[in-house]
Amino acid sequence: MKGSLCATKEQPMPEALFQIAEPGESPVKGACPPGTTGAVGIDLGTTNSLVAIVRNGVPEALPDDRDGANGEPMLPSVVHYAPGDSGVIVGTAARDDLAAKFPTDTIASAKRFMGRGPDDAEARRTLTPYEFAPAESAEQVVRFRVAGGARTVTPVEVSAEILRVLKERAERALGGTLAGAVITVPAYFDDGQRQATRDAGRIAGLEVLRLLNEPTAAALAYGLDKREDGTTAVGTYAVFDLGGGTFDISILKLEGGVFEVKSTGGDSALGGDDFDRAIAQHLLSRAGVSGDTPSDPMLARRALDAARAAKEALSVADDVRVELERPDGSRAAFLLSRTEMEALVRPILDRCAGPVRRAINDAGLAPSDLSGVILVGGATRMPLVRRFAAELFGREPLADIDPDQVVALGAAIQADLLAGGTAGSDVVLLDVVPLSLGLEMMGGVVEKLIHRNSTIPCGATQIFTTYADKQTGFDLHVVQGERELVADCRSLARFKLAGIPPMPAGMARLEVTFLVDADGILHVTAREENTGIEASVDVKPSYGLSDEQVERMLLDSFAHAEDDVRARLLSEQRVEADRILLAAHAAIAASPELLTEEDRARIDDASARLDEAKKGDDHRAIRSAIEGLDAASKEFAARRMNRAFDEGLRGRRVGDVEAQVEKSAGQQDDLPTRLSRSGHSGHSH
């Protein structure tokens, strides 16, 4: 037998996500534990990563202070796995000295693979010089074959090596064990990608205090909450964040020291790496190498390195000389102009325009309403990107702080605050959920509990009840997306609630709570109130959303809004029709002696009309047929109710009955009120 849930109108308030104290009674943060130093902010980037701290109230990026190091704060996000016991090499040496010689053993841009599966489009992009290994377990995660094929590593492990180096750098600078770290993530990272980032921090031995959205960190670093005269600023800013692997756009409203994210958008697979691929393919073509994907990983790596170097040089020069070694060992040399490079990059850059316009529209604004625009990310150094942003927003953007360091500096401010410091102590950060979260209901429709652009941390609780008799367990299905039907959304997790005693349909009270924490990670709890049986899950999908999926989710939600509503109504009415027919047949089987021939004829005729109507596509016709069956069975239902009352009252005293009625009236508010839409069909256990 299939069991299911029915949504109710009754929605109790969610439990408090934080406590509010009277002025002067708020607890004071203590100092760091003995033996530990302060907390740090880490920008775990696609191309480069940084660690920053707050000294004397001022954030600063920490340079590489190892012997023989270049003293630069930027650590290339490149990891080389040497064969045998030679170990792991991270940073400049891996990028400059080893990547071209050992392309399959040297992993760059691991962030683009975080939270993604082996069949994801990212693993099939052109000019990807890595060797991918099959997943080693039921978890569908990307695995790189490295160290001469002797071992496999995941993007989480690669990122952990980068974080480990940054942790050691910070501990040398501070002279002790870190109290914790704030790690930044793209605002458009989904639950799987955020969980993967947090896991990487734990593997590296870091206490991850918080995952902070990169655009919000950048706004903190700019100090937009303060005017030059020291008073609190008020305004709405756009943060345009185009890095090596991801693009984010966030609209932030600043008022009274509160940074409230009004909307967010972006593309978690769009960035400078895509520029490099387009340029590299062009360079290979100029060098006479045919084919979009060279079979030689070493050639692919050399082409990508040449493209990156040319792109960076053309940010300040009008043309650059490029040399590229062909497969036969000969070398091609030619000039690449900035105009030529920009023509290759512009179609990719244009993909930023859609998310920007949607984010501004979601915030209820026009570009002219913005107080300013902030540029973040290494790709925004390109003159083309700066012109593009100026055209898009109708104003010159702000670029006063190094776009490569601004995110790490903002993370350091937040980390200092969380560790008990005073930097940013008068600032409150309010980020948002990028995509709606909900449950699958009976009939394949989505009941959204938390909507897109809801401020986090946030929560929602809703009461559900059963659709069928004697249901003893449920399979709960958590989904993410903007469409009304489950088939058009993305599955996040499934979990079971078992062991419920069999009850009549509608008697169970299943309280489902969604909580999205400050890191943007979803926690789901389901509890049957009559028995206290509970189950929970931290939503951790095995791989993340692709850029195409995210774009499709949002665009389809707008384009198919009317169709989705019609489909939802049709599904709900079909489910209600099945419930009414089942109840009618059960009542007739239980009390045939109360039926007259006229009753039976009316009910059979109304049932046939309803059965025929639910095969069609008109939800109004189904609703009308349901009402017709209700009317046809009204007299029969009245006879059954009267007999039930007679049997219930037989042999009882009037005073006892009155007391029972009074008690029932006091509990009436606790009874679930079922809506026509019903819950997801879960298997009875």
Whether the CB-CB separation of 440 and 449 falls below 8 Å is answered with no
346, two tokens: 């512009």
CA–CA separation, 611 and 63 (whole Å): 73
Round to whole Å and give the CA distance between 545 and 670: 40
- Residue 241 is among the residues annotated as catalytic for this protein: yes
Element (H, E) at 367: none
Residues 449, 12: Cα–Cα separation, whole Å: 12
Pairing of β 458-466 and β 437-440: unpaired
| Active-site position among 191, 225, 241, 267 | 241
Give the residue among 315, 297, 316, 317 at the shortest CA–CA distance from 305: 297
Based on the residue annotation, tell me whether 43 is a catalytic residue of this protein.
Answer: yes
As beta bridge partners, residue 493 has 478
3-state secondary structure of 447: strand
DSSP 22-67: -TT-SPPPPPPPTTB---EEEE--SSEEEEEEEETTEEEEPP--ST
Cβ–Cβ under 8 Å, residues 474 and 524: no
Bond prior to 457 in cis (omega within 30° of 0): yes
Does the annotation mark 225 as catalytic?
A: no
d(CA 508, CA 654): 30
Active site residue 214: yes
Long-range CB contacts (within 8 A, 24+) of 521-527:
521/191, 521/194, 521/195, 521/198, 521/211, 522/191, 522/437, 522/450, 522/478, 522/492, 524/476, 524/478, 524/493, 524/495, 526/474, 526/476, 526/495, 526/497
Catalytic residue set:
43, 111, 214, 241
